[in-house]
Structures are given as C-alpha cells and as structure tokens.
Chain A
Amino acid sequence: MVIETPQYPFFEWLPLSLMSFLLVCGSLLAVALVFGYLVAALRHGPIRAFTITARAIADGMVDLVSISPRRVMALTWLSIKDSIRRRVVVVFGVFILIILFAGWFLDPGSTHPLRLYISFVLPATSYLVLALVLFLSVFSIPADLKSKTLHTVVTKPVHASEIVLGRMLGYIAVGTIILAVMGTISYVFVLRGLNHKHIVTQADLESVGTTQEAPDGDSEAPQSTGMQKGISGRDHGHRHEVRIKADGRGILERTHDHWHPIVRKTENGETTYEVGNPEGMLVARVPVYGKLRFVDRQRKAAEKGINVGDEWAYRSYIEGGSLAAAIWSFEGITPEAFPKQLPVEMTLGVFRSYKGDIEKGIPGSLLVRNPKTGLTVEAKIFRATEFETDIQNIPKEFTITPSNVYYLDAIKVSEAEKHANEEKDAKDEKNAQTAQADGEQEAGEQIASYKRREAGDDIKNKGKLDLFEDLVDGDRVEIWLQCLAPAQYYGAAQADLYLHAKDASFFLNFVKGYFGAWMQMVLVASFGVMFSTFLSGPIAMLATVGVLIGGFFRTSVIEVARGENYGGGPAESIIRIFTHQNVTSEANPGLQTDVAQMCDAVIQHCLGIAARLLPEFGQFSCADYLAYGFNISSTWISEHGLTVLAFFFVLFVLGSFILKTREVAR
C-alpha cells in the first residue's frame, strides 16, 4: 500500500501541530480584527470604530463562554427533526438500491476481492452521506432566514454560538446515524459477498507422499501415506490448489487473498470433503514500519536509490547483481512482540531492463543485520512478483553455513567530510529534510559506507545464530533487501517492507474505516453551516464544494503556490497555452512574461495561504488501509481526530462570530 506521507508518533506530531494551529488562529484573528476595524472606521470613524471592534470581541467572548447545553441540545434536536422532515430517509433507499445492484458489477473473481468490495462500499457510503450532509448544512440557516423562523429563535435568549453549534451538532448527529446504519449494512454486504465455499470431491484429488510449507510457516515432516493434493471446484471465479495431510486436515492454498481449511471425512466407506469459510481475507494486519535508507552498488550510503525514469518518485530503485541495497531499520523488535518468527511482508516495485522469464519473479535476498555489531546473516532468498505482497518469514534461528554469515561494518565519515556534508545540507534545505525523514543521519552516527568482513571462528563455531541474541541490538534490527538478478531493479519505498506484528480485529478496523468517513462528514457539516451563516444556500454549497475540491488537491495547490510545477503560475500558464510554449522550457522573455510572473507572485502567495487553511480532505479517508488489510493505528485516529476537532472549533467560532455580527432581519 502506498503511504506517501510519513506518520509521526503522536507526541512528536502534537506540539508541532498545536503550534501551527495557534499560529494560523492567531493570524486569522489578527486579520479579522484589522479588517473589522477598517470596515467600522469607514462607517463610523476611527475612534468609534475602536469601541465597536472592542465591543464585538468582548460580546463574542461572552457569547462563546455562555453557551447553554440545554439550548444547544434543543437546537440540535430541531436540526434532526428538520432533517427528517427533509426526507433524509430517501438516502437509505438510494443506498439499498445501490447495494442491491452492486452484486451485478462487483466481480467475485477479482484477485483482491476485499479491495474491490471495500473500495466500493466505503466510497459509496461516504459520498452519499457527504452529499446529504452538504445539502442539509448549507441550506439550514438560509432556509431559516428565508422563512423567518430564525426571528422567533433569536428573539429568545439564544446566543449565535448556540445556533451555530446546534446546527452543526444536529447535522453531524444525522450523518452519524446514517453512516452507522449504512456501515452495518455494508459490513453484512462485504461478509456475505466474500463468503464462499468450494466443492472438493475425491475425483479432484490424488495421493502424494509429502507436504509443502503451510502459509502460516509451519513445516511438516514428510508423510508417506494418506496425503492428497489436487484442485478445488470453481466458486467466486477461482479455484484453489488443495493439500490434505495424512490426518485428513488440510488447506485450500492461498489465492485471491485467502485460503480455506478442509477436512476429509469418511463415513460408511464414503469419503467426503468439508471445506470451511475463506480465511486470511478479512484481516487487519498490524505493521511495524522501519526507516528506509539506501546503499549504492559499492555499499556507499546514498540518499536514494536509482531513478529508473518513473515520474512518480515514490519508489527508489536498487540495482540487481550488485551490492546496492535498501535498508530498513526497525525498532521495538522483542521476543514478546514476535514470539515465533519475524514475518516480513513486502510489496516491491520491479523494473526489468530486459524481459527475462516473465513467469518467474526477479530473485532477491533478505539480510538481517545487527545495527551495533554489524553481524549479518543471509536470511531468505526469494522471487519478487510485481503488485503482489510477498510474505517471508525470518526464523528465530539460523544455521550457519560457510558463506551466509559475515559482518557488514559501518564506515563512518571523517570529521572533515562530515563538515562538508553539513554545509551542503545547509545549502539544500530540501535534501536535509529528506535525509532526516529517511533516518539516514542519526546524531553522531553519519555512515559513509559498509565493508564486508568475514565472521570469526567464534561465530562460525556456534553452529546456529539466534535472532534476538545475535542479530537484534536491544530492540533494533536492520533488514537489507538486495536484488540478485543483474540488470534488473527492485523499487522500494519506506512502507513497502514491514514486519507483520499481529492481526487486529477486522470488525474494529471496519469501524475505524468508517470513522474516517465520519471525520470527512464532520468537516463538510462544519464548513456547510459556517458558510450558511453569511451566504445563501446555493452559494454556501458552492463554497463548501470549493473547499472540498481545494482540500482534495491541496498538495497540488501548494505545489503551484511554491512554483514547483512546470509552466509557471496561473497567469504564465495561460500565456503559454495561448502562445503554444513548451512547459519545460523557459518562458519567452518580454513584457507579457514579466507582467504574468508578477501577477503569479501575488496569486501564488494568496494560493499558498488559502491552501494551508484548507483541510487535506483525502487524508481523512482510510479506505486504503481497510481495503489492503492494514490496521488503522490509534495514532492515525488520534491525529486525524484532533485535526478534525480543531477545524470544527475554528469553523464554529467563525460561524458564531459571523452570525452574531450580521442582521438577521431585512
């Protein structure tokens, strides 16, 4: 699964985010004060404007602190009743209709059925609820103003803040109820849609003498009799290879992201096979991610691997048949967390400079290295298949052979080189950030390269190496990935290789997935109500949709604001379009280019500010985690939940202030 934005630990994230939040709020407040004062000064003169502005702030503060929960609850209840009156239940009808007919279009034979189902139900549910909440929230206060029902509310002892909060909470409550019901229906739909059984008969199987390795890593001793293998019947568009052990128990081997247990039963001389429900499909893997860095073909430390010409620079490539490697440094590796083995899961990118045997994967190896002693063991040789998750279990014990154990000693940079590097990094801030993010530079431990040194007799005489005693330093270990096929390349990003610590509850993960949709809904409701305090319904809807679109494309907008995109800013781009200029070349010099670039400087500055105020809307969706079977971490939930809360608070304050300072009647 692609994770482009690094996830910082909560307590690292919190102070930075809090500071950023306070800075933005402070700036907004300052701008609002200056703007308010200027408007008041134009109308009432500079001295009275000061009194008016001060009074507005004082009244606003009083308004915020004198919120009555009882009144807010009354207004929330009113919003819920209002929603029911507006026939929100119709959305359920639409949803049921979609679910009923979805089965026609969802291919049960998909290689990744969970991804298919989740990438259908979660967006379908969230988009329906988002559209509903958008309509409800943006037309709420404008409708009250138009019908003048707000007159009878504001002439009661109700604060503007209570009206805004009541509306926001009301529509959030409606969205929550609908999302909960739809989520429950979706869960049942996914379970029913993915559940299936294959028919296995005696005719499908033949007797064999040995077993293969089971998917959970357990190895069986060869058996002489009673073992069977074959192919199961087709169901949900696929078949499984069947392996049955001598004791009559076996599995339908893993394909399409799942496997089935099978039991052979013999009654009255008749043998039947009972196939269980699919397993391993509805999972919530808890990954332990490491920090990624690279070494080049001479084992020299490198910021990145090789660029193979892919525009998407997410993955960096290592050259096959060389010493180049991608290195993941893990922490928290303890026998308690990994009692049986070290399950490594990889989704590698593969770049072939020649086709080779396309049926076979590109061979590679996994090394395990002690970060302190440098002791390294070649743990696994495997073949990487593209777009598939490779599961490699690194055992707790390694049998030492003459060539599989050695030392990779870290050669630190000399003080002079270190100083030169620091100067270089100071010049190139971006490089410095990348390097730090990748964990290449640790305090006092700047590594230039690695050198192989053969293991001494003391190691070789041990006969076996223990993972936790010999290769794990405290709770730290390194996994090195190397590509063994010359002129072929592995592409790796930090999230491409992780240790599969354990499985969390899929149901809870499903709930967390819907929590992501819920957060998006909260943002829509908050923006909708805030805009509706000063815009008419349709305009408030446009504004909210604008925020959503801006939020989805926030990263791109920031790129434009920073001038990192090709073709210059908006004004320069327009000139390029009409004058048919290439975006990658310098713009033709001249007055029009100068003017356009001056305009762009202003536009980009404004875009930059606007984009930083927008929520990165797509980030609140965790459908990918759910679809790819990854546990949504509590850190993710906490950080995004707090972010939504911050937006909610700011929008609530803003909406309250606007409603308080506007005339309700006309």
Chain B
Amino acid sequence: MPDDVIIETRNLTKVYRDFWGRQKVRALKALDLEVQRGEIFGLLGPNGSGKTTTIKLLLGLLFPTSGQALIFNRDATDVKKNERIGYLPEESYLYKFLTAEETLDFYGRLFKMPKRLRRQRTAELIDQVGLSRAKKRQLREYSKGMTRRIGLAQALINDPELIILDEPTTGLDPLGTRDMKEMIVDLRNQGKTVIMCSHQLDDVEDVCDRIAILYEGELKELGRVDSLLKVRDVTEIHASTLSDKAQQEIRDIIKREGSEVLSIGNPTTTLERLFLDIVSESAEHPGRRVTGGANN
C-alpha cells in the first residue's frame, strides 16, 4: 500500500445474517476503493446502498464477511489505527449527561492526552465550533445543530490525519452548513484526509474532490467530481449580453462561422441529475456498471 493511500479496501464484502446464521442481506459487494492522502472523498448512495456499512467497516464497528479494509496500512479492526482517526457519526452519539467541556475532556483522556494539552485543545475546539457560551451546559440541552458541532469537536480532539464524517451537515441550518463545509475544506487545506458520506448532493459537490456512488452495495461510479460532471457530447458557448438581433445573427453566424464567441466549452449537469440518472439506470439494469455521466 503506497504511502499516499490512506484507505484501501480489497474485495470488501459484508453480509448481514440473522440469529441462525441465515443470510438476510448482502449490504456490500466486493468493494475496491482507495482514498488518497489530502483529498476529500465522498460516498454517495441512496438509503441501503452500503455507504454507512462501508464506514462502519472502515472503523472496525463491523467485521467484513470477506475481503479486507486497510487504514494507514493497518487492518480496520486494529485499535491502534484509531489514534490517527476522527469520527463524526451520523447523529452525534455522545453522552448527554456530560457538558461540552467534560465531553471533550473525556475523549481527550481516551487518547491519553496530558491534562494541560486536553484543556488547551478543549478550549480551542469549543471556540472553533462556536460553543463557547454553551460549554458548561449538558448536551441534553443542546439543539441538533449544537450537537453536530460538539460532535465535530470530539472528532477533532486528537488532531487526526483522517476524518470520517457521516452526514456532517444533517440538522444544520444554512449558515451552519456553510461553516461546516468551510471547515471541511479547511481541514483538507491543512493536509488532512476527509471521507464523508451524505445525502446532501450539493454539499458533496461543493467540497468533495472525488466521489464513489454506491447502489445496493455495489460501486457504481468512482472518480473526480469535476470529471464526472462533465457532459462531453454537448458544446457550450458563453457569450456576453447580446441583442435579439445579434443572437439571431450569432445563430446565423455560427451557421456560417461568424461573430465573436466568448467561450466555448462543455456544460455541466448537476450532481443531483447525475446521481438520479445512475440510480435510475441501476434500477433498470441490475448488476451492470453504469459508465458515468461523461458520455451521457
């Protein structure tokens, strides 16, 4: 595993079974994936597509039925890897009877951080996520947005190299969403690797460098966001404001190769469009890999 590869999954498969060992559902099918150092990687998929299962497998919360997940070149079940990881779960699963300060102090102690460092880090993070005024309140009194913020703070307590975010913008207001996205980009700019899964397609589009789209446990698409969103069989022309007459003329000129063309390029569709197309195509042709939006 090269040094630049932070996460690697090989043929990663997860089958859920019932009490008697009978197969209930095949949640993930032979996933091969690599996440590079310093990128923001998005996992997309409809409900039940296997993205949360993937994250749980990466964190060692679930054990693979077959295949392997490696993080920092260590098996996903190895506790030692967690020293370099920060994890924000889908809903901030934190102890509601603790205050924000106690929460961060507790998680800091789990990283064996010295008391002085814990205090310093706690103060920094509480300030960073904007909870200074509520740091003495128990988490049970927090709004959902505040809970997400303290959740993010606990994920960053150890200054991790890899941050795994499960639906990071869920429950946040537009302002909070913007702040969260800025924070994610900022983390990437600090050289950290971020892997996130989200239903908010515009969020993913805004911050992710690469994405993987899963459907019914299978990898359907993988690549850079800008590349995936490019429509190659359509030419797009950007021109300055033109009168109706001019526009008509442009059309004529384009026909006869006249007038000034300000820009000619490939228009993009939206991520949402791409996502829906893939889901629809997958539903019509189960088992077939969709070749991506570039040729559509």
- Residues on A lying within 8 angstroms of B by beta carbon are 43, 63, 68, 70-71, 73-75, 77-78, 81-82, 84-85, 147-159, 663-665
Quick one: closest B residue to A73, CB to CB? B109
- For residue B77, give the distance in angstroms from its CB to the closest CB of chain A: 8
CB distance from A280 to the nearest CB of B (A): 50
A515 to chain B: closest CB distance in Å? 31
Q: Which of B91, B98, B110 has the most CB of A within 10 A?
A: B110
B112/A68 in contact, CB under 8 A? yes
Q: Are B106 and A74 in contact (CB under 8 A)?
A: yes
Q: B109, A151: Cβ atoms under 8 Å?
A: no
List of B residues within 8 angstroms of A155 by Cβ: 59-61, 82, 85, 87
Q: A151 to B89, alpha carbons, bound, how many Å?
A: 8
Chain A CB within 8 A of B19 CB = no
Query: Which residues from chain A contact B112 at a C-beta distance below 8 Å?
Result: 68, 70-71, 157
A sample of 20 inter-chain contacts (CB < 8 A) reads A70-B109, A73-B109, A74-B109, A74-B110, A75-B110, A77-B106, A78-B95, A81-B95, A148-B91, A148-B93, A152-B89, A152-B94, A152-B107, A155-B59, A155-B60, A156-B107, A156-B110, A156-B158, A157-B80, A665-B61
Residue contact B62 to A152, C-beta cutoff 8 Å: no
CA of A156 to CA of B98 in the docked complex: distance in angstroms?
18
Per-residue 0/1 for B65-81: is the Cβ within 8 Å of any A Cβ (1 yes, 0 no)?
A: 00000000000000110
Please indicate the chain B residues that have their CB under 8 angstroms from the CB of A148 in the complex.
89, 91, 93
Residue of A nearest to B63 (CB): A663
Q: Which residues of B contact A70 (CB under 8 A)?
A: 109, 112
Query: What chain A residues lie within 8 Å of B91 (beta carbons)?
Result: 148
Interface residue from B79, B95, B102 paired with A157 (Cβ < 8 Å): B79
Find out whether the CB atom of A156 lies under 8 angstroms from the CB atom of B61: no
**Complex Cα distance A154/B61, Å?**
8
Q: Does B56 contact A (CB under 8 A)?
A: yes
CB neighbours of A82 from chain B (8 A): 95, 97
Nearest to A663 among chain B residues (CB) is B62
Nearest CB to that of A44 among chain B residues?
Answer: B66
Given contacts A71-B112, A149-B95, A152-B89, contact A157 B56 (CB under 8 A): no
Given A74-B106, A157-B80, decide whether A151 and B93 contact each other with a Cβ distance below 8 A.
yes
Assuming the contacts A664-B61, A665-B62, asked whether A152 and B93 have C-beta atoms less than 8 A apart, the reply is: yes
User: In the complex the two chains form, what is the Cα distance from A156 to B80 in whole Å?
Assistant: 9
Chain B nearest CB, measured from A586 CB (Å): 43
| Interface set of B (CB-CB < 8 Å, partner A) | 21, 56, 59-63, 79-80, 82-83, 85, 87, 89, 91-95, 97-98, 102, 106-107, 109-112, 154, 158
> When chains A and B are docked, how far (Å) is the Cα of A154 from the Cα of B98?
18
Closest to B57 in A: A665
Q: Which of A63, A70, A152, A664 has the most CB of B within 10 A?
A: A152
How far is A665 from B111 in the complex, measured between Cα atoms in Å?
22
Of all chain A residues, which has the CB nearest B95?
A149
A12 to B79, CA, bound (A): 43
Chain B residue nearest to A665 (CB atoms) is: B61
> CA A148 – CA B94 in complex, angstroms?
8
A149-B95, A155-B82, A663-B61 as given contacts; A78 in contact with B89, CB under 8 Å: no
Q: In the complex the two chains form, is B93's CB within 8 Å of A157's CB?
A: no
Looking across the interface, which residue of chain B has its beta carbon closest to that of A154?
B61
CA distance A77 to B106 in the complex (A): 9
Which residue from chain A places its CB closest to the CB of B93 in the assembled complex? A148
Which residues does chain A contribute within 8 Å of B158, judged by CB atoms? 156
Contact A81 B110 (CB under 8 A): no
| Residues on A with beta carbons closer than 8 Å to the beta carbon of B82 | 155-158
Q: Of all chain B residues, which has the CB nearest A155?
A: B87
Output the nearest chain B residue to A71 by Cβ-Cβ distance: B110
CB closest residue in chain B, given A39: B21
State the CA gap A663–B16 with chains docked (Å).
11
Rounded to whole Å, the gap between the CB of A465 and the closest CB of chain B is 72
List 4 additional contacts besides A154-B60, A157-B112, A158-B79; criterion CB under 8 Å.
A77-B106, A147-B93, A152-B154, A156-B82
Nearest to B52 among chain A residues (CB) is A665
Chain A residues in 8 Å Cβ range of B102:
81
Q: Is the CB of A665 within 8 A of B56?
A: yes
Task: Note all chain A residues with C-beta closer than 8 A to B60.
Answer: 154-155
The 6 A-B residue pairs whose C-beta atoms are closest, nearest first, are A74-B109, A665-B61, A85-B97, A148-B93, A156-B110, A155-B87
Per the bound structure, the CA–CA distance linking A155 and B59 in Å amounts to 6
Q: What residues of A have a CB within 8 angstroms of the CB of B95 in the complex?
A: 78, 81-82, 149
Distance A317 CA – B63 CA, assembled complex (angstroms) = 67
Of listed A63, A73, A75, A78, residue having the most chain B CB within 10 A: A78
- Asked if A151 meets B61 with Cβ closer than 8 Å, knowing A157-B110, A665-B56, the reply is yes
Closest to A77 in B: B106
Contact B79 A159 (CB under 8 A): yes
How many Å from the CB of A38 to the closest CB on chain B?
13
What are the residues of chain B within 8 A of A156 when measuring CB–CB?
A: 82, 107, 110-111, 158
State in angstroms the CA–CA spacing of A68 and B83 once bound together.
Answer: 14
